[in-house]
Chain A
Amino acid sequence: MLYNMHEQIELRQPASASWRRWLRWLGGYLAALVAVGGGVLLWGWLVEWQQYPPFILPSPARVWQKLGEMAFAGDLWRHIGATLAAIAGGLALGLGAAFSLGYLLGKHPRLERLTAPYIVASQSIPIVAIAPLVVIWLGSGLASKVAVTALITFFPALVATVVGIRSVDPDLVDLMRSLRATRGQILWKLELPAALPIVLGGLKLSVTLAVVGAVVGEFMGASAGLGYLINLGRGILDTPLMFVAIGLLVGIAQTLYLTVVLLESRLLRWQR
């Protein structure tokens, strides 16, 4: 062909790249494992050395034993389930509201200027300060936990959506218009994929905050949940119980975060 002589380009995908990426992934995985293992060892050694009583700082073995007891007694699952329900409900509500409002505000800057004072104000009040109010309004059941979680996940997702929609290349909008695309086609084929990288960035923040929201909600007088267990453990000086609950919360947050990371690497393959 006429061109290829002058325009030889390499696709940036040499054969060994995927192999090397896999090695790097494995390396990162091992590093994380070593870090966690080292931390646990250090913790065990500290307890041994200082001879702390379990209500100050229980040993890893003690916490592990507590986890086993609770898992077999059957009560643990109910609490995990309650917290997961609050997180799931809060995320669904908070993200649903953030995506739809964010889309609207992204498309209509004037509307954003009108609502910005309220949105910023809602964010400058710490969530722990509103949570008691929410409990008064909605009671101490699942509804208030969902509401608190929704409130805290809302803002990062909203900002990311607004910025994401604003980042859509106006030339591509022109292209879609010149093709006489419908609004729905512009949304699905242009706006969503274009905003996705930024929205996923916001989502990473939102999912980790969702765990915070659920726990804050459960602190305000719930009868189940990992947050409730922490409160309970504090009351009866059952520190191993608190450690179990905290460990599980960290696990949930990690899982949520990694899910978004996985989603990112699936959906944004074109960026690499």
Chain B
Amino acid sequence: MTPPIFVADSISKKFVDGRPLQALLPVSFQIEAGEIVCLVGASGSGKSTLLRIMGGLMASDGGAMWFAGQPHRAPNPAIGFVFQKTNLMPWRTVLQNILLPIEVQQKKVKSVDQDRARALLGAMGLDGFEEAYPRQLSGGMNQRVVLARTLLQQPRLLLMDEPFGQLDALTRERLNLELLRLQAAERMTIFMVTHSITEAVLLADRIFVLSERPGRLAEPVVVGLPRPRTLAMINTPAFGAVALRIRALIGEHGEREAEPTRSGF
């Protein structure tokens, strides 16, 4: 078997500016190449913090990480990052936004890159919008632009922080299926934070559950549904069973946060 593409060994975070806050207890895990892992957990449990550490945007308090067999600390072009908020530059057109990573890393955009960018936009249903500005597009289209920007770099590992959280259910499902198709075609590894259990079960090979603050990882849940996944699977008993297990795991750890009104026993 090939070695895991990402290894985290006891990474943790305590915020000390202001009131000290243990956001993340030491967590350890591995991600295999080509797999999709979803991370679920109550809000404030440290999901974004974990992802930012994995992306090299924030230092861990201790422990170590390896990416593709190499020690990993700083941002790496082979790791794509899709943030919680749609972060396009409003003064750049769709095409210019998508080419930003290439501009930054290669200093010069070649016509090959232009062609690849246009092709990718076409594949994502965005042709004709190359010269539009982000504010002229809907939320779903903008998030697709963000996805295209990340994919143009052909990352080996894609870190996503609730990428579809602000979208309506229909758009979200559509983008989920699109992501699955792209992931299979590009043989990417995806690590995605989501607060939707359904989304996690639909996409993931394995699901990590982070307990409420301070975050601690439960034993990963193996989803075990066949691929390709379809929306019809959502209504099958097997899907329901996995969703129930996740819910139970979150409940076990995060009951107080999930149901703040219940007091006593």
- Point out residues on A near B: beta carbons under 8 Å: 1-4, 6-7, 9, 11-13, 169, 171-172, 174-181, 185, 189-190, 193-194, 196, 268, 270-271
B contact residues around A4 at 8 Å (CB): 125
Chain B CB within 10 Å — which of A7, A12, A185, A190 has the most? A7
- Report if B251 contacts A (CB, 8 A): no
Q: Closest CB-CB distance, B113 to chain A, in whole Å?
A: 14
- Provide the bound-state CA to CA distance between A46 and B79, in Å: 76
Task: For B56, give the chain A residue with the smallest CB separation.
Answer: A178
Residue pair B104, A180 in contact (C-beta under 8 Å):
yes
Q: Is the CB of A270 within 8 A of B104?
A: no
Stretch of B82-90, B185-193, B231-239 at the chain-chain interface:
B82-90
A12-B136, A178-B75, A179-B100 known; A270+B90 contact, CB < 8 A: yes
Pairs across A and B, CB under 8 Å, 27 listed: A1-B125, A2-B174, A2-B178, A4-B125, A6-B170, A6-B174, A7-B138, A9-B136, A9-B137, A9-B138, A9-B141, A11-B129, A12-B136, A171-B87, A172-B89, A174-B52, A174-B81, A175-B83, A176-B104, A177-B57, A178-B56, A180-B74, A180-B104, A189-B104, A193-B91, A268-B91, A270-B91
Would A171 and B125 count as touching, CB distance under 8 A?
Answer: no
In the bound complex, residues from chain A placing their C-beta under 8 Å from that of B75 are: 177-180
Q: Is B132 an interface residue (CB 8 A)?
A: yes
Q: How far is the CB of B5 from chain A (nearest CB, A)?
A: 18
Smallest CB separation, A193 vs chain B (Å): 5
Q: Tell whether B44 is near chain A: CB-to-CB under 8 Å.
A: no
CB neighbors of A among B66-101 (8 A) = 74-75, 77, 79, 81, 83, 85, 87, 89-92, 100-101
Contacting residue for B83 out of A171, A185, A194, CB 8 A: A171
The minimal Cβ–Cβ distance linking B85 to chain A, given in whole angstroms, is 5
- Give the chain A neighbours of B91 by CB distance below 8 A: 193-194, 196, 268, 270
| CA gap between A3 and B132 in the complex, in Å | 18
Q: How far is the CB of A173 from chain B (nearest CB, A)?
A: 10
Closest A residue to B177 using CB positions: A2
Contact (Cβ within 8 A) B141 A7: yes
Q: How far is the CA of A196 from the CA of B171 in the complex (A)?
A: 34
Complex CA distance for A193 and B85, rounded to whole angstroms: 20
Residue of A7, A11, A174, A193 touching B140 (CB-CB under 8 A): A7
Query: Is the CB of B263 closer than 8 A to any CB of chain A?
Result: no
Taking a contact as CB atoms under 8 Å apart, the answer to whether A189 and B100 are in contact is: yes
- Further contacts, 18 of them, CB under 8 A, given A7-B141, A172-B87: A3-B140, A3-B144, A7-B171, A171-B83, A171-B85, A174-B83, A177-B57, A177-B75, A178-B56, A178-B57, A180-B77, A180-B105, A189-B100, A190-B89, A194-B91, A268-B91, A270-B133, A270-B135
B55 at the interface (CB under 8 A from A): yes
Residues in B34-61 with C-beta less than 8 Å from chain A: 52, 55-57
- Report the separation of the CA atoms of residues A7 and B142 in the bound assembly, to the nearest whole angstrom: 11
Residues of B within 8 A of A169 (CB): 87
Q: Kindly identify which residue among B87, B132, B133, B138 contacts A174, using a CB–CB cutoff of 8 Å.
A: B87
List the A residue with the shortest CB-CB distance to B55.
A178
Known A174-B83, A180-B74, A193-B89; contact A3-B101, beta-carbon cutoff 8 A: no
B96 to chain A, nearest CB (A): 10
A175–B75 alpha-carbon span in the complex (Å): 10
Beta-carbon contact of B125 and A2 below 8 Å: yes
In the docked arrangement, what's the CA distance between A98 and B174, Å?
49
Q: Which residues of A contact B92 (CB under 8 A)?
A: 270
Decide: B81 and A178 in contact? CB cutoff 8 A: yes
CB-based nearest B residue for A171? B87
Q: Chain B residues near A271 (CB, 8 Å)? A: 90
Enumerate chain B residues within 8 angstroms of A172, measured Cβ to Cβ: 87, 89
Q: In the complex, what distance in Å separates the CA atom of A196 from the CA atom of B133? A: 17
In the bound complex, residues from chain B placing their C-beta under 8 Å from that of A196 are: 91
Q: B103 within 8 Å of A by Cβ?
A: yes
Query: Is B133 a contact of A179 with CB atoms below 8 Å?
Result: no
Query: Could you tell me the distance in whole angstroms from the C-beta of A267 to the nearest C-beta in chain B?
Result: 9
Q: How many angstroms from the CA of A85 to the CA of B133 in the assembled complex?
A: 40
Q: Which 10 A-B pairs have the closest CB atoms?
A: A1-B125, A171-B87, A3-B125, A178-B81, A270-B91, A179-B104, A193-B91, A178-B75, A181-B104, A270-B133
Shortest CB–CB separation between residue B233 and chain A, in angstroms? 18
Question: Nearest A residue to B127 by beta-carbon distance?
Answer: A1
Q: How far does the Cβ of A262 sit from chain B's closest Cβ, in whole Å?
A: 18
Look across to chain A and name the residue whose beta carbon is closest to the beta carbon of B132. A11
- A13 (CB) vs chain B CBs: closest residue: B136
Bound-complex Cα distance A185 to B77 (A):
16
Measured CB to CB, the closest approach of chain B to A3, in angstroms, equals 4
Question: Cβ of B104: which chain A residues have Cβ within 8 Å of it?
Answer: 176, 179-181, 185, 189
Which residue of the partner chain A has the closest CB to B134? A270
Rounded to whole angstroms, the CA-CA distance of A181 and B141 in the bound complex is 26
